[in-house]
Amino acid sequence: MAIHEKIRLIREMNHWSQEEMAEKMNLSPSGYAKIERGETQLHYEKLKKIAQIFDMDISELVKDDRNICFLISENSQLSSNYYGTSEAVTIENEKLKLALSYKDQLLEQKDKEIESLKEIIVLLKAQHRKEK
């Protein structure tokens, strides 16, 4: 995975917008967007700043971990083998994390709606009693 793709992925994992990241780096939003598109040469100082913002070591940010294959076993009875580059697995994991986050937001929204509807029912019942 290219560094600029890794930066975008980590930013999205932190639920930060490009504007927020640009502000943290003291850049214009368009200047930061160029970093994520790979249109800007990343020098050591910028990489160091990005790593600090993400609270990670710069070596983790720049390391190239392609072509590593591995096996993941869930338990002795049910096991799943995943073969591929760690890059592909990382991307798939991030997609799944985003999907879970979205699901959690929908569940929270549903709970709020249920509470609102319960309050409406209570108000309507009270109004109905007053009319009798």
CATH number at residue 2: 1.10.260.40
Count other C-beta atoms under 10 Å from residue 43's C-beta: 8
Helices 3-13/86-131 angle, 10° precision: 20
Identify the pLDDT of residue 73.
Answer: 42
- Are residues 89 and 46 part of one domain? no
Say whether 85 sits in a helix, a strand or coil. coil
What are 51-61's pLDDT values in tens digits? 999 998 888 88
* Contact indicator for 20, 29 with CB cutoff of 8 Å: no
What are 4-58's pLDDT values in tens digits? 999 999 999 889 999 999 999 999 999 999 999 999 888 888 999 999 999 988 8
| Phi–psi pair at 33, nearest 5 degrees | -60, -35
Poorest-confidence range of 6-10, 83-87, 95-99, 112-116?
83-87
Question: Would residue 76 count as lying in a domain?
Answer: no
Q: Name 14's Cβ contacts closer than 8 Å, sequence gap at least 6.
A: 54
Residue bearing tokens 């991307």: 91
- Are residues 109 and 54 part of one domain? no
- What domain range includes position 99? 82-131
Residue whose C-alpha is closest to residue 118's, from 110, 130, 106, 108: 110
Question: Would residue 33 count as lying in a domain?
Answer: yes
What single-letter amino acid sits at 69? C
Average pLDDT, the chain: 83
How many helices (H) and strands (E) in the chain? Answer: 6, 0
Identify the pLDDT of residue 107.
Answer: 96
Q: Name 131's Cβ contacts closer than 8 Å, sequence gap at least 6.
A: none
- Are residues 42 and 5 part of one domain? yes
User: Over 50: is that where the pLDDT of 78 sits?
Assistant: no
Residue whose C-alpha is closest to residue 88's, from 58, 67, 63: 67
Question: Would residue 74 count as lying in a domain?
Answer: no
